[in-house]
Amino acid sequence: MDGPSPPADLNVRLTSDNLSIRSALGEVIAALKARRVDPDALGSVEIVLAEALNNVAEHAYAMRGDGLIEINGHVMPGQLQFDIVDEGAPMPMGDAPEGCAANLDVPLGDMPEGGFGWFLIRQMTEDLTYLRSNGRNHLSLTLAVI
């Protein structure tokens, strides 16, 4: 949305509701397939982007469903980079959460039902940066591909 950056290989705009997120993920995956990105990488891409977009919908836009989100993807040798921009609330503490592994060493009845999202994102990305500028969140995610 702002700043000089190389032209994106793919650009998807969506609103922050679950079904728009679902169809945006489909668009991104189709675009990457068309660019012959290694099919083995697509599962990780979809998980990482789904978690990042769900977080924007749930936290930045507090489930209001009509917030604008833009995804710009860059296909590079050996890596994929995605920039996700939204106009919602900033990340708490001004940075993306560390995403610790959930504690599973508990009785079955206390097994965690959430808190996996940032952990998954961190596990599957090579690099992650978060920037708040001009009232927008910019999350940049880099994944390695063969």
Partner 1 sequence: MKLSSTMQGDAQIIVAQEPRIDAAVAIQFKDRMKAETEQGEGRVILDLSRVEFIDSSGLGAIVAAMKQISGQRRMELAGLTETVQKVFRLTRMDTIFAIHPTVEDALGKQV
**Phi then psi for 67, rounded to 5 degrees?**
-75, 145
Binding residues for partner 1, total number by CB under 8 A: 27
The nearest distance, CB 7 to partner 1, in angstroms, is 29
The nearest distance, CB 124 to partner 1, in angstroms, is 7
Judged by CB under 8 A, the stretch of 2-10, 72-80, 109-117, 138-146 that binds partner 1 is: 109-117
**Rounded to whole angstroms, what are the CA distances from 123 to 16, 36, 68, 109, 117?**
24, 24, 27, 26, 10
Q: Of 91, 94, 87, which is closest to residue 64 (Cα–Cα)?
A: 87
Binding letters toward partner 1, positions 76-95, x by CB under 8 A:
--------------------
Binding letters toward partner 1, positions 38-57, x by CB under 8 A:
-----xx-xx--xx--x--x
85 CB contacts (<8 Å, ≥6 apart)?
Answer: 1, 69, 70, 72, 136, 137, 138, 139
CB-wise, 50 or 91, nearer to partner 1? 50
**CA-CA distance, 91 to 104, in Å (whole number)?**
26
The nearest distance, CB 63 to partner 1, in angstroms, is 10
